[in-house]
Amino acid sequence: MSDTHLELTDATFEEKVLNSDGVVVVDFWAPWCGPCQMLGPILDEVSADLKDDNDVTITKLLVDDNPQVTEKYQVTSIPTIGYFANGELIDQTLGVLPKEAIMAKISAAKKSLSK
């Protein structure tokens, strides 16, 4: 996974995700997870496509080092992607998804911002 995504920790999760006014995409991952390695480049593409969108932040959380957040959101399999809007988890997907599916989830999350 590249370093283009904001790296979250148990300590920074509240500030960077729960207190955010936009959409935050959280990639729950681990370096030993093969599917996580496959998802990384897809999220890089999503991040590049959305680089000018100030309402969307792509992040990652290493599950091995951050058990509090991992447990709170009941992440038992990885990769899991959490879609947060205005600090609230509104959707979660499991496994490697195509870029189009991730973009659709982000679009849906953005629509919930205006409610």
Q: Could you list the active site residues?
A: 33, 36
* CATH classification at residue 108: 3.40.30.10
Look at residue 1 and tell me if it is in a domain: no
pLDDT > 80? residue 115: no
What is the model's pTM? 0.94
Tell me the C-alpha distance between 2 and 4, whole Å.
Answer: 5
Look at residue 33 and tell me if it is in a domain: yes
**Domain of 102?**
6-113
Rounded to 10°, the helix 34-49/99-113 angle is: 60
Banded model confidence at residue 5, pLDDT cuts 50, 70, 90:
confident
| pLDDT recorded at residue 1 | 36
For the chain, what is the domain count?
Answer: 1
